[in-house]
Amino acid sequence: MTSSMRRLPRWRFLRAPFGDRQAATFGIPGRNRLGIPAAVLALSVTVAGCAGAGAVTGGEVAAAAPGASAAAPGTTQAMPGRTSADSEASFAPAVLPGLGARTRAEIPANARQVLLVTGQGKNSSTSRVVLYRRTGAGWEPGATWPAHNARRGWTDDHHAGDLRSPIGVFSLTDAGGLLADPGARLPYNHSRGFTIGGTGFEGEPLEGSFDYVVAINYNREAGTSPLDWTRPLGADKGGGIWLHVDHGGPTHGCVSLKKEHMKELLRTLDPGRHPVIVMGDAESLER
- According to the 3-state scheme, what is the secondary structure of 154-167? EECCCCCCCCCEEC
Residue 99 has pLDDT above 50, yes or no: yes
Predicted confidence band of residue 13 (pLDDT cuts 50, 70, 90): very low
Predicted confidence band of residue 278 (pLDDT cuts 50, 70, 90): very high
Decide: residue 39, CB within 10 A, 0-12 exposed, 13-18 middle, 19+ buried. Answer: exposed
Say how many C-beta atoms besides its own lie within 10 A of residue 46's C-beta: 11
What pLDDT, on the 0 to 100 scale, is given for residue 92?
A: 83
Residue range 245-271: mean pLDDT, rounded: 98
Residue 51 has pLDDT above 90, yes or no: no
What pLDDT, on the 0 to 100 scale, is given for residue 103?
A: 98
Residue 54 has pLDDT above 50, yes or no: no
More confident residue, 6 or 106: 106
On the CB side of 90, how many CA atoms lie within 13 Å of its CA?
8
Per the prediction, the chain carries an average pLDDT of 78
pTM: predicted TM-score of the whole model, two decimal places: 0.74
What pLDDT, on the 0 to 100 scale, is given for residue 29?
A: 37
Residue range 70-94: mean pLDDT, rounded: 45
Residue 9 has pLDDT above 50, yes or no: no
What pLDDT, on the 0 to 100 scale, is given for residue 50?
A: 60
Residue 77 has pLDDT above 90, yes or no: no
Lowest-confidence range among 40-49, 126-135, 239-248?
Answer: 40-49
